[in-house]
Chain A
Amino acid sequence: MSLPSYTPLHYRIWHYTYLTICGLVFFFLIAPLFVIFPLSFNAEQYIHFSSGMIALDPDAFSLRWYEDMIWGTKNPWGLAAKNSIIIAFFATIGSTILGTVAALGLSSRHMPHKAAFMAVLISPMIVPLIISGTAIFFFMAKVGLASTFTGIILAHIILGTPFVVITVTATLTGFDHSVTRAAASLGSNPVNTFMKVTLPLILPGVISGALFAFVTSFDEVVVVMFLAGLENTTIPIQMWVGLREQLSPTILAVATCLIIMSTLILVTAELLRRRSERLRGINQ
């Protein structure tokens, strides 16, 4: 972003002010996440930077909160992590299958009232979570699925499908339908065509939708709060409970692990998006 030498002074000043403003906004976006890292290695039980930490004294840092997270006797993180993974796994599979199939139908040019169906299927993403939580709780209580894994998984499928529908329909725009017709004319049945031709082409979209569904489920607290009993507590529920009582270093250790996880997911999603754009011939 170097400026040509003939740039007048006032424009120069304006340009650097603009870059500074942008820098500050990026700092505002990303810095809060990084404040958690050092504090989770704090040797003391406080959530602020001790003088030892600022002086980078190695004794001021320790892994005790990570040990507490994994082996702590009172800490339900192990159970919560197990539950979160089970719930997110099944919810992801459910929303990916339902969402992908629906997206295939929605992208067909024969589909009537496309916009209306789309609006309905996306609605769980738009309706405030507290309302979704209330409504889903009433339903699950009625059919006897409150505080069961099945109930929570079904609820997370509802919340996850909009993301899959959006990403897969986006991948299907610009999808060349002549390849499926070619497959059909060569005698392939629809299921075979889907598995061998369509799916490999839309796979990046499907996977990034699945990642969204996974993250949605893994991070979801409002609906689970209504549905979960003590034995099906999840990581977000434990964090929520912990944060309401007191901010503890163990929570920051958990948060650090979650940030690392989301970084990995982000990198995967970005790589997939670029691959998908390349496959569909969208030039950057």
Chain B
Amino acid sequence: MSTEQILSSDGIPLEISLKKAERKNKIKAMLLVAPLFLFILITYLMPIGDMLFRSIDDRMITSKLPNTFAALAKWDGKELPDEATYEAFYKDFYPLAIAKESGKLYQRLNYEKSGFSSGLKKTNRKIKKFEKGNYKEQFMATHKIWNNVEYWVALKNTAPKWSYAKYLKGVDLKLDPDRNIVQMPENRKIYKTLWLRTLKVAFFVTIFCFILSYPIAHLLATLPMKYSNLLMICVLLPFWTSLLVRTSSWMVLLQQQGPINDLIVMLGLTADNARPELMYNVVGTFVAMTQILLPFMVLPLYSVMKTISPSLMRAGKSLGGTPFVAFRKIYFPLTVPGIGAGSLLVFILAVGYYITPALVGGASGSLISNTIAYHMKSSLDWAFASALGAMLLTGVLVIYWLYNKLVGIDNIKLG
């Protein structure tokens, strides 16, 4: 039995012409996605890559002081380096001082070991009057850091082009002079607390949102449409309102002379002069973030609950289950996908929250994003900000991946 090839009208076998058409359609679809994809790739994904690169890039010192590092390569790190090294440093530093380009160097080396900044600044002023020859003595007379082996060791330790020191700092670890990973001294351990606080706030905000959303999502899903549409406005209006507006309304409510404190005093829970501090601490962050993120939990829960047929609960009850048992064994398990979707979304958003903690959180309620912003804008340690950002990003992407696996990214509901 021979199979005859089916030909299309222009004499080409149908199989080939179908494949051709499919390929054409595939290319067409990809061409439609291409503009946005390229735009996001160039203006967004590559810059994020650049940010990750900055967090490990440590070539600045090596490129500014090439002769010094060449000389230090042979140095054993036990005693002060020899005259040739000091001369090499003079050769590198003198042009920088003349061209006024040494500022970045102070800052960067001071992260490595404090004292560098003042030492280098003084050297920067004096180096212009240095005489030829005998550089070691002249340097040592200029500032005490040049008499100290530790500073030279610290300088030599910056030789590698790539460094993961910023990541270590982000989890309260550091490299000691012998390049071993050690704990930061107790009084400088701040980042572990910060990470834990960020996770704690995100976790509890997610839990609070879940507890508050579940009953109202259920109510919205079971009420007749004309009532539920009206109540839905209560969920959607905050969702559409500016974040800053919502945060400022919490600032009004939570301030010392604000309505909530007035109420507490009126109820006689506390004396007028002992009003509790509700804002500028972690309480403010919790309350405001819970209210602001609540719609992101209600909407996925609602859309799942909407699909659960009421007859299932009735069937459960008719088979002898109490309403509680019917709820626990039938209704609740069916809502688990909605709980997962809402919780992951709220957690992702909460973990990177910036505006609200910055305004109502004070020092004890600020989160990792606030620290990243601080290092971007105030301390200008961009490499460290990038490293913290990379760590936060990794965490968020893991949850995002999980979300995609469990819920599917195309199932995100927006109102």
Mark A residues whose CB is within 8 Å of B.
1, 11, 18-19, 21-22, 25-26, 28-30, 32-33, 35-36, 39, 46-49, 98-99, 101-102, 104-106, 108, 110-112, 115, 117-124, 126-139, 142, 154-155, 157-158, 161, 163, 165-167, 169, 208, 212, 215, 218-219, 221-222, 225-226, 236, 239-240, 243-244, 247, 251-252, 255, 258-259, 262-263, 265-266, 269-270, 273, 284
Contacts and interface: CB of A to CB of B under 8 A. Distances in A.
A32 B250 contact: yes
Contacts of A222: 354-355, 373
Interface in B20-39: 22, 25-26, 28-37, 39
Interface stretch (B10-18, B113-121, B148-156, B388-396): B388-396
A101 B212 contact: no
B307 interface: no
19 contacts: A25-B215, A30-B238, A102-B35, A105-B28, A105-B34, A108-B28, A110-B22, A119-B404, A127-B396, A128-B352, A134-B376, A135-B48, A158-B43, A166-B410, A166-B414, A240-B244, A255-B242, A266-B236, A284-B225
A180 B177 CA distance: 70
B348 A126 contact: yes
B397 to A, nearest CB: 8
A277 to B, nearest CB: 12
Interface stretch (B62-70, B138-146, B227-235): B227-235
Nearest to A28: B291
State the main secondary structure of chain B at its contact with A.
Answer: helix
A153 B295 CA distance: 28
A251 B248 CA distance: 8
A124 B291 contact: no
Contacts of B359: 240, 243-244
Interface in B118-138: none
Contact of B30 (A32, A112, A119, A265): A112
A105 B412 CA distance: 18
Contacts of B43: 136, 139, 154-155, 158
Interface of B: 22, 25-26, 28-37, 39-40, 43-48, 50-51, 54, 212-213, 215-216, 219, 223, 225, 231, 233-238, 240-253, 255, 257-259, 262, 291, 294-295, 323, 348, 351-355, 358-359, 369, 372-373, 376-377, 385-386, 389, 392-393, 396, 400, 404, 408-410, 412, 414-415
Contacts, number: 270
B29 A262 contact: no
B246 to A, nearest CB: 7
Given A110-B25, A119-B404, A130 B50 contact: no
Contacts of A26: 216, 231, 234
Contacts of A119: 400, 404, 409
Contact of B46 (A139, A157, A166): A139
Contacts of B392: 128, 131
Contacts of B396: 126-128
Contacts of A259: 241, 245
Contact of B236 (A19, A142, A270): A270
A99 to B, nearest CB: 7
Contact of A49 (B44, B245, B259, B294): B259
Contacts of A35: 249, 252-253, 259
A273 B22 contact: no
B219 to A, nearest CB: 5
Contact of B216 (A25, A49, A124): A25
Nearest to A163: B414
State the main secondary structure of chain A at its contact with B.
Answer: helix
A247 B251 contact: yes
A136 B44 contact: yes
A25 B295 CA distance: 11
Given A128-B352, A136-B44, A101 B51 contact: no
Contacts of B294: 25, 28-29
A108 to B, nearest CB: 4
A60 to B, nearest CB: 16
B415 A269 contact: yes
Nearest to A132: B44
A18 B223 CA distance: 13
A138 B54 contact: yes
A112 B410 CA distance: 15
Nearest to A265: B240
Contacts of B250: 32
A284 to B, nearest CB: 6
